[in-house]
């Protein structure tokens, strides 16, 4: 039987998932996106050339890969097909290697406008408890429609009469809000219909029953990677609600978002940045608003891959990482961006929290974000290193203090570290152990 591996982010996204999935994709035949939409920005660097993918699974650059968008993904037709065409223009012929689920949902112009108008209004009111700082791509509204059972699925493209009446009803609802509540112009039926008609044939050519394809692939000994978008703490259920995205980015989403049962998964690799970043609002206990942030920003190039916003930065937070290991059943970790720590005199790791009210120590992450306000991080301080680690491919060649840093994290979270990334390029990688090597 082929193996099924989930690769996901253990933090607030942008951990370097794209690079790692691209790297591992020479050992598998399928890569499946199971949730999210074009809010994701996954960066690959191959032979010095950078490509950012939003909807198309990382790994597609290799000819052996079939890229799949599962039912859990929300698909903007124009964005998706533009991305396909962008890759074709660069010489990656992928049109016949992309499949989408009959049951995935369309993200249309009115979703994007709704996201923009809502965020604009919340920002104006500068009400910190409600402004999320979304990517304004329409992700939330598209999932709201799905849950409200008025969403338009890919398979609706085969039933145009039904689709047209659904669209009329949805536009009545959205246009009422746009006009009355947000005091904005309405969106015309014809302009939304144009996007659907422009893209319908191409989408239907790629549409299929993904669940059966994946089960058959396993039977034929083909391995599959399930590519998480966003990260654990942006998950709608397990993240820092309400400062989250609108899908399940944790490992459970791989099952519901692709149509294969939970017993099908063999390995879950958690991708963890050596420090922390988040984009948008929400709690962040180890956030640094000082020269450490300038260091991470400068050497980690912490600008959003999708929206270009500056990412907030801070120290690694182990209570968060432990919770992530727990909710995802993570088998092992891949640590990324080790090279960004080069040159720091000291490196801090948050090992627990202290209550500002009663000085009590906590090892767990509070469920409600308001309860984070009463906590401060307790750090273990480790010595840094001056030598460059960028591009190092062997653990033994890392500076002693870097080796020590990695071993300490491994001891504190009690699961192995399989892979260390020392630069953005595919080749800047250390394989530490052979768990994954034995599996795929």
Q: Which is nearer to ligand GDP, 61 or 203 (CB)?
A: 61
Is 46 a residue that touches ligand GDP (CB under 6 A)? Answer: no
Interface segment toward Mg ion; rule CB under 5 A; list 38-46, 129-137, 193-201, 283-291: 38-46
Task: Please state the closest distance from residue 102 (CB atom) to ligand IMO, in A.
Answer: 24
Q: Check the CA dihedral 126-130-136-142 and report its sign.
A: negative
Is 14 a residue that touches Mg ion (CB under 5 A)? Answer: yes
3-state class of 191 per DSSP?
A: helix
Task: Please state the closest distance from residue 282 (CB atom) to ligand GDP, in A.
Answer: 17
Contact 10, 409 (CB under 8 A): no
Q: What CA–CA distance (Å, rounded) separates 22 from 26?
A: 8
Q: Is 22 a catalytic residue?
A: no
Strands (DSSP E) found in 38-143: 42-46, 49-53, 66-69, 74-75, 98-101, 105-106
DSSP letter string over 310-363? BPEEEEEEHHHHHHHHHHHT--EEEEE-GGGGTT-SEEEEEEEEEETTT--EE-
Residues near Mg ion (CB under 5 A), total: 3
Task: Please state the closest distance from residue 164 (CB atom) to ligand IMO, in A.
Answer: 28
* Tokens found for residue 134: 């979304």
134: DSSP letter: -
Chain centroid offset of residue 131 CA: 21
Q: Which is nearer to ligand GDP, 139 or 206 (CB)?
A: 139
Q: What CA–CA distance (Å, rounded) separates 125 from 430?
A: 48
Task: Please state the closest distance from residue 80 (CB atom) to ligand GDP, in A.
Answer: 18
Task: Please state the closest distance from residue 42 (CB atom) to Mg ion, in A.
Answer: 6
Task: Please state the closest distance from residue 22 (CB atom) to ligand IMO, in A.
Answer: 14
- Per-residue mark of binding to Mg ion, 39-68 (x: CB under 5 A): --x---------------------------
Instruction: Report the site for Mg ion in 291-320 (rule: CB under 5 A).
Output: 305
Considering only 10, 135, 305, 331, the residue that binds ligand GDP (CB under 6 A) is: 305
Q: What CA–CA distance (Å, rounded) separates 99 from 84?
A: 12
153: DSSP letter: B
Task: Please state the closest distance from residue 341 (CB atom) to Mg ion, in A.
Answer: 20
The residue number whose beta carbon is nearest to ligand IMO equals 280
Is 3 a residue that touches ligand GDP (CB under 6 A)? Answer: no
Is 37 a residue that touches ligand GDP (CB under 6 A)? Answer: no
- Per-residue mark of binding to ligand GDP, 395-424 (x: CB under 6 A): --------------------------xxxx
Write down the residue that tokens 């369309």 correspond to: 106
Is 42 a residue that touches ligand GDP (CB under 6 A)? Answer: yes
Q: What CA–CA distance (Å, rounded) separates 320 from 413?
A: 10
Contact 354, 328 (CB under 8 A): no
Q: What CA–CA distance (Å, rounded) separates 95 from 320?
A: 39
Contact 166, 126 (CB under 8 A): no
Task: Please state the closest distance from residue 201 (CB atom) to Mg ion, in A.
Answer: 31
Q: Please report how many Cα atoms fall inside a 13 Å half-sphere around the Cα of residue 131, on the Cβ side.
A: 15
Q: Which is nearer to ligand GDP, 43 or 170 (CB)?
A: 43
Considering only 14, 119, 145, 235, the residue that binds ligand GDP (CB under 6 A) is: 14
Q: From ligand GDP, Mg ion, ligand IMO, none, which one binds at residue 337 (CB under 5 to 8 Å depending on kind)?
A: ligand GDP
Q: Is 111 a catalytic residue?
A: no
Chain centroid offset of residue 104 CA: 18
How many residues does this entry show for the chain?
Answer: 440
Considering only 54, 337, 348, 426, the residue that binds ligand GDP (CB under 6 A) is: 337
Longest dimension (CA), the chain: 67
Contact 230, 8 (CB under 8 A): no
Q: Which is nearer to ligand GDP, 102 or 401 (CB)?
A: 401
* Tokens found for residue 47: 């032979």
Active-site option among 38, 42, 238, 295: 42
Q: What CA–CA distance (Å, rounded) separates 65 from 428?
A: 22
Which residues of the shown chain bind ligand IMO in the complex (CB under 6 A)?
9, 12-14, 39-42, 132-135, 137, 139-140, 229-231, 234, 245-246, 279-280, 305
Considering only 210, 325, 333, 340, the residue that binds ligand GDP (CB under 6 A) is: 340
Interface segment toward ligand GDP; rule CB under 6 A; list 10-18, 145-153, 190-198, 315-323: 10-18
13: DSSP letter: S
Q: From Mg ion, ligand GDP, ligand IMO, none, which one binds at residue 279 (CB under 5 to 8 Å depending on kind)?
A: ligand IMO
Q: Which is nearer to ligand IMO, 254 or 402 (CB)?
A: 254
Instruction: Work out the end-to-end distance of the chain between its first and last CA atoms, rounded to an integer number of angstroms.
Output: 11
| Positions marked catalytic | 14, 42
> Where does this chain bind Mg ion (CB under 5 A)?
14, 41, 305
């Amino acid at each position: 039987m082929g193996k099924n591996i989930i690769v996901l982010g253990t933090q607030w996204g942008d951990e370097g998932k794209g690079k790692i999935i691209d790297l591992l994709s020479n050992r598998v035949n399928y890569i499946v996106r199971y949730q999210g939409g074009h809010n994701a920005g996954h960066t690959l660097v191959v032979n010095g050339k950078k490509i950012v993918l939003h909807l198309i699974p990382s790994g597609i650059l290799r000819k052996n890969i079939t890229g799949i968008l599962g039912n859990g993904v929300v698909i903007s037709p124009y964005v998706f097909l533009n991305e396909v065409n962008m890759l074709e223009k660069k010489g990656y012929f992928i049109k016949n290697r992309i499949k989408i689920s009959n049951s995935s949902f369309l993200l249309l112009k009115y979703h994007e406008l709704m996201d923009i108008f809502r965020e604009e209004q919340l920002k104006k009111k500068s009400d910190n408890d409600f402004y999320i700082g979304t990517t304004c791509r329409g992700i939330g509204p598209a999932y709201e429609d799905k849950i409200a059972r008025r969403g338009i699925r890919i398979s609706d493209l085969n039933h145009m009469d039904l689709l047209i009446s659904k669209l009329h009803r949805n536009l009545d609802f959205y246009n009422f809000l746009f006009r009355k509540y947000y005091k904005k112009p309405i969106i015309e039926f014809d302009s939304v219909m144009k996007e659907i008609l422009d893209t319908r044939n191409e989408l239907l050519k790629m549409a299929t029953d993904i669940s059966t394809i994946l089960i058959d692939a396993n039977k034929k000994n083909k391995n599959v990677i399930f590519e998480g978008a966003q990260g654990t703490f942006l998950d709608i259920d397990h993240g820092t609600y309400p400062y989250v995205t609108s899908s399940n980015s944790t490992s459970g989403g791989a099952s519901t978002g692709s149509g294969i049962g939970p017993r099908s998964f063999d390995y879950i690799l958690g991708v963890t940045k050596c420090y922390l970043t988040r984009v948008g609002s929400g709690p962040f206990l180890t956030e640094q608003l000082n020269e450490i942030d300038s260091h991470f920003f400068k050497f980690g190039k912490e600008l959003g891959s999708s929206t270009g916003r500056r990412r907030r930065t801070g120290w690694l937070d182990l209570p968060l990482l432990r919770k992530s290991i727990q909710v995802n059943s993570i088998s092992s970790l891949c640590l990324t961006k080790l090279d960004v720590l080069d040159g720091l005199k000291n490196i801090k790791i948050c090992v627990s929290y202290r209550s500002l009210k009663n000085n009590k120590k906590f090892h767990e992450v509070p469920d409600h974000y308001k309860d984070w306000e009463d906590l401060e991080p307790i750090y273990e301080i480790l010595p840094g290193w001056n030598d460059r680690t960028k591009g190092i491919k062997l653990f033994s060649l890392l500076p002693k203090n870097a080796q020590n840093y990695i071993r300490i994290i491994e001891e504190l979270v009690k699961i192995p570290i399989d892979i260390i990334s020392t630069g953005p390029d595919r080749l800047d990688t250390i394989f530490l152990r052979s768990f994954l090597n034995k599996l795929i």
